[in-house]
Amino acid sequence: MSEKTIFKKIIDGEIPAEVVHEDEHCLAFHDVAPQAPVHVLVIPKKEIRSWAHLTDEDGPLYGHMCLVIQRLAAELGLDGGYRVVVNCGADAAQSVDHFHFHLLGGRKFDWPPG
């Protein structure tokens, strides 16, 4: 990646974020344009462009992030359920070229998502 993404700037502390989790592998923070009462982004500290760019080497990181999401959902009181979303590529509305999960909850969701 040539130019720093907004997520890399958040990781580097250049842009503030309302952080709810941080460890050596990932960072989780509230989305500035929430689509639900709870909308947290979970991003790896390793720069990975998108879901399509994950490799076998990233398996442990991916698994760790999934467990972080599970713990955050419990900590944030999402007992009634929650949605985990990954947008991959422009046609799927990926707006930042840095792989990330959206943890959404606090309201009922419809299906299909649209």
Domain 6-105 is in which class? alpha beta
Q: What is the dihedral of CA 114, 87, 35, 10, to 10 degrees?
A: -170
Q: What is the average pLDDT score of the chain?
A: 96
Specify the pLDDT at position 113.
81
Q: Sorting pLDDT into bands at 50, 70 and 90, what band is 68?
A: very high
* Sequence spans of domains, the chain: 6-105
Give mean pLDDT, residues 90-107. Answer: 96
The pTM of this model reads: 0.95
Is the pLDDT at 114 greater than 80? The verdict is: no
Catalytic residue annotation: 100
Q: What is the pLDDT of residues 21-65, one digit of tens each?
A: 999 999 999 999 999 999 999 999 999 999 999 999 999 999 999
Residues 6+ positions from 72 with CB-CB distance below 8 Å: 20, 21, 28, 40, 42, 103
Is the pLDDT at 87 greater than 90? The verdict is: yes
Is residue 74 within 8 Å of residue 22, measured between CB atoms?
no
Specify the pLDDT at position 2.
65
Specify the pLDDT at position 52.
97
